[in-house]
Structure 1
Amino acid sequence: MGTALRTIYTIWYREWLRFWRDRSRLVGMIGQPLLYFLIVGQGISAAMAFRAAPPGVELSYLQFMYPGILAMSVLFTSIFSGISIIWDREFGFLKEVLVAPVPRWGIAMGKALGSSTVALCQAAILLALAPLAQIHLNLPLIGQLLSVLFLISLAITFLGVAIASRMETMEGFQMIMNFLVMPLYFLSGAMFPLANVPEWMAALMHFDPLTYGVDALRHLIFAGAPPQALTFLVHFALTTDLLVLGAMVLVLGGLGSWFFSRQI
């Protein structure tokens, strides 16, 4: 067990150092959340009147979309982190690690934790921008939001690890990711309410695991909202959201570790 823990820590530390020493990624970590918030959120909010909220519920579209922007940030950062596996394979580092007398699942876990740490740093910037969306957060709430975002990031990173472990080229990985990422995000309820979509789309949204992550974030952010607003904003119990996220981490973590361990 001690060897596994040292392996996880070493790979996690390597992923963190690679991120910290890459100035372009640091710039991107700051710029990407600003892009999501100022252009995606503010732009769409300015382009349309948010008329889906029920009468008596004072809610802007930017406030509605803010939890979705948080989820979007960790989704994109986490799922594309799997490309580092293909990069390491091409440059020989992965081969050296795989022949070392350490558990392979520990390597996959370290990579997932390292990528999730980077995603949380980006999400923290968006949390600092919450007052611009007229959303007020306190320290306990920030801790709860980061915990949910960590679960989302860890599950999505394991998905990226599982797919990258079976891919041979970066181009193939990016094609598969683009095919998965957009449906995952658009069917999560991040951009439009679940109650106002066709039945076939609502069914797909119920099968999208990211839907439960966005729903949990809305539970926490709008916990003090009136009952009619909560009925409009959230669709599952917070316990259900957390159970689904936890199950998603376990299932995708098992798949990611298994596929990674089967590499030659």
Structure 2
Amino acid sequence: MIWMAEIEGIYTIWLREMKRFFRYRSRIVTSIVTPLLWLIIFGTGLGAAVRFGGVPGGYKAFIYPGIIGQTVLFTSIFSGVSVIIDRQYGFLKEILVAPISRESMVVGKALGISTASMIQAAILLALSFIVGITMSPQCFIVSMVIALIISMGLGGLGLVIAAFTDSMEGFNLIMSFIVLPIFLLSGALFPITGLPAWLQGAVYINPLTYAVDALRFTILRRSVLPLEVNLLVITIFAVIAVLIAAFLFNRKEQNLM
């Protein structure tokens, strides 16, 4: 059956992404150590310099959901470079002749990227005691669902950028102009209430803002928007990003056939 072939193709591409992820163990260690350094050094240093009340655990607890969002952001978007590597080594041509749709290829890639992001998010959630937060099973599950949705969207965004880029250098250059503003304008490091109107506009068009706000509500029970609104926005973003990636991937890679 056609749908069985599509599912098998998605699974095969997902499995390849997982094998690639676990093959580079240094990447896993780095992706965990870096956010911990943000929490310990940045959170402690700035937390001691400014008064930050209203949140049990202080500033470190406040930025904890944002650091999880940062980890998902970096892992998801930068994983789009795998498309460029596959294109350079000819593996992409082999995928294109497989009897599955381009949409299934993109979904398999996005799921692989999301799984890698969720593994790292799960490790950070398990280390919540570092910032004095008790992680309940319900909180853990909801946080993982949020991480899955936003990582699918950000992974799709990474694939969109990869569709326009033919070299790793060009991809990294574009990323340097995109990733940092997305992170800084997500409310990960500071409250988004009380900002100037022009800056709030930039904050609220950022999809990561809604993921961080949803994580903050789930973990700290504090948010700007209702959880349902945040989940709706990041879900719409994920669907649109994956669909656009599939469309661009289809048009771009037809030139390789």
Equivalent pair of 1:41/1:69 in contact (CA under 8 Å) = no
Aligned match for 1:211, one of 209, 212, 217: 209
TM-fit CA distance, 1:50: 2.9
2:46 maps to which residue?
44
Query: Which segments of structure 1 move beyond 6 Å, counting only runs of 4 or more?
Result: none
Secondary structure of the structure 2 residue equivalent to 1:195: coil
Q: Helix, strand or coil: the match of 1:164?
A: helix
Which segment is superposed worse, 155-164 or 202-211?
202-211
Contact 1:37 1:126 survives alignment (8 Å): no
Q: What SS does the aligned partner of 1:197 have?
A: coil
Q: What is the aligned partner in structure 2 of residue 35 from structure 1?
A: 37
Name the TM-score, length of structure 1 as normaliser.
0.90
Distance 1:183 1:209, change over 3 A: same
1:52-63 correspondence to structure 2 within 5 Å: 53=53, 58=56, 60-63=58-61
The 5 Å alignment of 1:37-186 reads 37-46=39-48, 48-51=49-52, 53=53, 58=56, 60-186=58-184
Does the aligned pair in 2 maintain the 1:190–1:214 contact within 8 Å?
Answer: yes
Cα pair 1:161 1:256 within 8 Å, conserved = yes
Give SS of 1:137's match. coil
Q: Which runs of 5+ in 1 are unaligned?
A: 224-229
Q: Which residue of 2 aligns with 1:251?
A: 240
Q: CA contact under 8 A between 2:57 and 2:131: conserved in structure 1?
A: no
Unaligned runs of at least 5 residues, structure 2: none
Q: Secondary structure at the match of 1:194?
A: coil
- 1:145 CA drift (Å): 0.4
2:229 to 232, 235, 240: 240
Q: CA RMSD for the aligned pairs? A: 1.5
Structure 2 counterpart of 1:227: none
Structure 2 CA distance for partners of 1:58 and 1:25, relative to 1, 3 Å: closer
Instruction: Report the AA paired with residue 182 of structure 1.
Output: L
Report the CA distance shift for 1:203/1:29 in structure 2 as closer, same or farther (over 3 A).
Answer: closer
Give the CA deviation at 1:203.
1.7
| Deviation of the 1:258 alpha carbon | 0.9
SS in 2 for 1:12: helix
1:4 to 6, 9, 21: 6
Identity %: 43
Cα deviations by residue, 1:61-111 (Å, 9 ceiling, x for unpaired): 111111100100100010000000000100010111112222111111111
Deviations 1:223-250 (A, max 9, x none): 3xxxxxx4xxx21111110100110011
1:11/1:110 contact within 8 Å kept: yes
Q: Report how far residue 59 of structure 1 moved.
A: 5.1
The alignment of Structure 1 onto Structure 2 pairs a total of residues equal to: 251
Structure-2 change in CA distance of 1:64 and 1:102 (3 Å): same
In structure 2, how many angstroms separate the alpha carbons of the residues matched to 1:16 and 1:207? 31
1:189 equivalent in alignment to 2:187: yes
- Determine which of 15, 30, 40 is the counterpart of 2:17: 15
CA separation in 1, counterparts of 2:57 and 2:24? 39
Mapped contact 1:65–1:190 kept (Cα < 8 A): yes
- CA 1:219–1:59 in structure 2 vs 1: closer, same or farther (change >3 Å)? same
Structure 2 CA distance for aligned equivalents of residues 99 and 139 of structure 1 = 44
